[in-house]
Structure 1
Amino acid sequence: MADLFELTALEQWRSLQQGDISPTDLTEHYLARIERLNPGLGAFVTVTATAALARARFVETEVSRTAPLWGLPFGDKDLQLRAGVPARLGSRLMRDNVPETSDLLVQALDTAGGISLGKTNTPEFGLPAYTESLAAPPARNPWNPAFGAGGSSGGAAVAVAARLLPFAPGSDGGGSVRIPAAACGLVGVKPSRGRIPAASGLDVPGGLPVAGPLARTVADAALLLDAMIAPDGGRPEHPFAVRAPGGDEQLLGAAIRGEGRFQLGVMTTSAWDDAYEISLAPEALAALTVAVDGFAAMGHGIEQTALSADPSYAPAFRALWQLSAARIPAETPEQEAMLEPLTRWLLHRGRELTGRAVAEALSTLAAYERSFIRQLAGFDAVLTPALALTPRPVGWYDAVDGERNFAQQVQYTPFTSMVNVCGLPAITLPVSQTTDGLPMGVQLIGRPGGEATLLALGAQLERTLRWQDRVPPVF
């Protein structure tokens, strides 16, 4: 019989439903793995073993088995607030922060019957695309610990890739689910703006950040995504007048069936091409070829496409990213000194922005969204590389110069932020590996509300490539 961690999340859920294992059994199993493997990987920054076991016993007796995630463990990203658990947000500045209340996404996952085992590693305030803060050890790639896991959901990706969790929630404001998923050989989903009520993006200027799942398989990602959308298994209760298009149907069915033939665009241009020198590594192009050949062999329509040049995107996005740092609670020189150089650079630039500059940036990005969707409207989904480069070594990013650091992040991840700006769904798929065994992936961008199409396409390719059978050498 396979060890529990070898089973997919969906297989574990079925075993729980059938009574073959209990939530306590599964929780104890994963806590033991975390105790053994986490010190060398930096996946978790806080492990709440006592609370997790108490929660498992509660779920067994007090929570209906009809709850979508009944008995399944997960980890809260350390940007999410869980009452009574330290929420350091990847920053030394927040080392003493222990919230009294849980945020909406945490509440949703609890309602769904999940069991939190602790907090997963994230960079400072979730701003960088890599998880190497001064507040915790770096999140190391299970395929080769000399390399980073990406970010900002880096700890979540490491935990899932190393089988410390069956799946994990992350957040994605510029690629923060898809980047670490691609770097660690996982499936990562960024939903449409407004799709997940508890983390919709609609309450943030520009609507960039949403929550999304990281998992080993497309079906596992859909299982978690369904629970994030409707934690009680019913119709999602959207707290805003605007919500993502598409029905309220469960997405797991689309991921399991994997049906349909679609028209796919293939694109290697990005929104950043006019602002930075973007070079695609041979491994990134090779991964794209694997996906194109796979989809073509299935009978999908394939057509090359490209974005029109738009030099307005880069300065507008930079302004919005800087604005996101302006609210960091550092008001004194002593508090600022506890921040990392990149964060200080973003904070200062954000606080220097005028109201007019912010309004112009938001208007520019809204126009970009309309243009982007119009240009790609003829396709059911558009295929791009997930990352432009192979996973980066730990310590690769400039630790002092914020401007250079930002450029490095763009050059590594040019294909992700434009999807957040446009509020579109996207999925990363781990289609290949480098000669050194590091994962390489592709990204599929969907139409508004088009998660079901992306999951169906991912499931079809997964059947052919069987990436879920790959095991990192950390074992």
Structure 2
Amino acid sequence: MRFEEYRKHDAVGLAALVAKGEVTAGELLETALARAAEVNPKINAITRDMSGLARGANLADGPLAGVPYLLKDLGASYAGVPTTGGSRLTAESTPAADSAMTRLYKAAGLNIFGKTNTPEFGIWPVTESHLLGPCRNPWDLGRSPGGSSGGAAAAVAAGVVPAAHASDGGGSIRIPAAACGLFGMKPSRGRVSFAPGGEGWAGASIQHAVTRSVRDSAVLLDATCAPQPGDPYFLAPPERPYAQEVGRDPGKLRIGFFDGALTEGQEVQPEVAAAVRDAARFCESLGHHVEPATLPGDHAAMQAAARTVLWASIATVADGECERRGRPLEDGELEPITRSIYELGKRTSGPDYVRAVQTIHAWGRDCASLFETYDVFLLATLGRPAIPIGWLFEDPRETNARLFSYMPNTQAFNNSGQPAMTVPLAWSSDGLPIGVQFAAKIGDEGLLFRLAGQLEQARPWFDRVAPL
């Protein structure tokens, strides 16, 4: 299959071609590999080649049978293949078995042929680890694709695959999707299992995907939203498959919108604020009731608590790897900022951690109260379009301020546990994507998929692709 034809289809479309015998899984794989060979030297999205495994795979006859796919190098384990987590410390950490997510992907018939770039332990909203090197945005090679699922988003935006595995602990699905002009759904806490691992960042982290189409996201979530024995959180099954929600009439929704930054002391850039207001008018034109609203709760307290959880989590991951291999942490095995976070985690007490989790849970209750009035909350995904490579770290004194000027609005819904999606509804004056974010109450991914399908039909984005 020629690349021009391959790129016309989403994952569901490619699977349909395989099912009808119009193309083979092997032909799709070779097209994806050829595209990767062409563009990956420019973007550094794929950091581990698993094409040998993919060429020899016995693919299941699932809903996405034969579709080429990529795993993020963090969170989902593939038996016998190292999961580096973007860190020198864990560069050779090789699981003996597939994680639940990988098993479910294989059962869906996906053909996994590589792993994608991620920052060290998924900490940052950019993808520039010392181990794996910087990943570049196909819309502008001097800019970041975001993070921590930056490699996944760059590969999809560059046309290597129509969808790719991603995870989101503070915005890591929505941030790169917004920076790369893609659709990104962060499911509710408990919707997707992390088995056999434990919860990520006190339940803030969740796995799913970045996609070009809404229906691909829905079908992938249908394939993976299966609770596993012993999961600390799980939700009741959806009323109907998510794939059936895409295209259903969402009805007249009550939408509250906010064109600013949730993080104290930050602002979103004027073009981004304008995109939010335009999205509000667009939703109103589709028949929804739209009015200004604000998210209740102490956002600053939540962010401080989330930092405590992050510090303790990074220390636990690093110490766990040192215990597994039987020797202590060595100089240079963690990047300098990560080493500082590790040391903060070592000084975090048990009561500190418990108080942080309690603060986060209180924040979730405050957030939930807004959704007694509104079905959906609309706001910016990012404070600005894609940022230059290296910008976040070029002045260590400015890193924290720059961090939250870039991502002022995503972390809220990780810590409330609510589903949130970014939709590529706008582009900047210099042609960079601007994502607009929609959040709903816990468990209401179906409503978001109905709204996303309506937005996609009314303002299509599938054919607007990166110039790379």
TM-score, length-scaled by structure 2 = 0.93
Aligned length: 458
- Preserved CA contact (<8 Å) 2:379 2:437: yes
Matched residue, 2:353: 358
1:279–1:400 Cα change, 3 Å = closer
Q: 1:247 and 1:314 mapped to 2: Cα distance?
A: 30
Which residue number corresponds to residue 453 of structure 1? Answer: 447
1:121 is aligned to 2:117: yes
1:378-416 CA deviation, whole Å, 9 max, x = no partner?
A: 111110101011211001012673x74233222211111
The answer for unaligned runs of 5 or more in structure 2 is none
Following superposition, the deviation at residue 246 of structure 1 comes to 5.8
* Residue of structure 2 equivalent to 1:193: 189
- Segment of structure 1 superposing worse, 455-464 or 295-304: 455-464
Shift of 1:270: 5.2
Which residue number corresponds to residue 68 of structure 2? 73
How do 1:293-442 residues align onto structure 2 when only pairs under 5 Å count?
A: 293-308=281-296, 310=298, 311-329=300-318, 335-398=330-393, 401=396, 404-442=398-436
Deviation at 1:290, TM superposition (A): 2.5
**In 1, distance between residues paired with 2:360 and 2:260?**
18
- Counterpart of 1:260, as a letter, is G
Query: Counterparts in 2 of 1:217-228, with a 5 A limit?
Result: 217-228=213-224
> Which amino acid counterpart does residue 43 of structure 1 have in structure 2?
A
Q: What stretches of structure 1 of length at least 5 have no aligned partner?
A: 231-235
Deviations 1:15-63 (A, max 9, x none): 11211111111111101111111111111001111111111xx22xxx3
8 Å Cα contact 2:193-2:228 kept in structure 1:
yes
- Please name the residue that 2:240 is paired with: 249
Aligned to 1:233: none
Q: Residues 6 and 146 from structure 1, CA distance in 2 versus in 1: closer, same or farther, beyond 3 angstroms? A: same
Q: Aligned pair 1:161/2:163, yes or no?
A: no
- Bigger drift between 291-300 and 333-342 goes to 333-342
CA RMSD of aligned residues (A): 2.1
- Looking at structure 2, the residues matched to 199 and 297 of structure 1 have their Cα atoms a distance apart, in angstroms, of 43
Does the C-alpha gap of structure 1 residues 270 and 437 become closer, same or farther in structure 2, counting only changes over 3 Å?
A: closer
Matched ranges for 1:69-148 at <5 A = 69-79=64-74, 80-148=76-144
* Letter aligned with residue 369 of structure 1: G
Q: Is the 8 A contact 2:260 2:380 kept in 1?
A: no
Evaluate the alpha carbon distance shift between residue 245 and residue 418 of structure 1 in structure 2; reply closer, same or farther with a 3 A threshold. Answer: farther
Aligned 8 A contact 1:341 1:400 in 2: no
Query: In the aligned structure 2, how far is the partner of 1:352 from the partner of 1:390?
Result: 36
Q: Conserved in 2, the CA contact under 8 Å of 1:208 and 1:421?
A: yes
Q: Deviations over 1:201-246 (max 9, x none)?
A: 973452111111210111111121111125xxxxx65644742256
Conserved? CA contact 1:130–1:148, under 8 Å: yes
Q: Residue by residue, what CA displacement relative to the aligned partner does 1:426-474 show, whole Å, maximum 9, x if unpaired?
A: 1100111111111001100011111011111111111122111102110
Contact 1:193 1:202 in 2 (8 A): no
Q: Of the candidates 213, 220, 227, which is equivalent to residue 209 of structure 2? A: 213
- 1:187–1:205: structure 2 CA closer, same or farther, 3 Å change rule? closer
Partner secondary structure for residue 222 of structure 1: helix
Mapped contact 1:342–1:405 kept (Cα < 8 A): no
SS across alignment from 1:469: coil
Q: Give the aligned partner of residue 10 of structure 2.
A: 8
Matched, 1:280 2:268: yes
Contact 1:139 1:154 in 2 (8 A): yes
**Counterpart-to-counterpart distance in 2, 1:358 and 1:81:** 27
Q: Structure 1 residues 182 and 205 mapped into 2: Cα distance closer, same or farther (>3 Å)?
A: closer
Corresponding residue SS for 2:337 = helix
> What SS is found at the alignment partner of 1:91?
coil
Q: 3-state DSSP class of the match of 2:386?
A: coil
Decide which moves more: 114-123 or 14-23: 14-23
Q: 1: CA distance between counterparts of 2:404 and 2:309?
A: 15
Where 1:142 maps in the other structure, the secondary structure is coil
Say whether the 8 Å CA contact 2:153–2:182 is kept in structure 1.
yes
- Which secondary structure state, in structure 1, belongs to the residue aligned with residue 343 of structure 2? helix
SS of equivalent to 1:384: strand
Contact 1:199 1:211 in 2 (8 A): no
- Candidates 38, 44, 47, aligned match of 2:46: 44
Distance in 1 (CA, whole Å) between partners of 2:401 and 2:334 is 20
Whole-angstrom CA distance in 2 between matches of 1:97 and 1:134? 17
Judge which range, 208-217 or 100-109, deviates more: 100-109
Q: Does 1:263 align with 2:254?
A: yes
1:294 & 1:428 partners in 2: Cα distance? 15
Q: What secondary structure, in the 3-state scheme, does the structure 2 residue paired with 1:152 have?
A: coil
Distance apart, 1:199 and its partner CA: 6.1
Shift of 1:302: 0.2
- What is the TM-score of this pair, normalised by structure 1? 0.91
- Partner letter of residue 172 of structure 2? S
Go from structure 1 to structure 2 and tell me whether the alpha carbon gap of 1:368 and 1:127 turns closer, same or farther (over 3 Å shift): same
SS in 2 for 1:117: strand
Quote how far apart the aligned CAs of 1:197 are.
Answer: 3.2
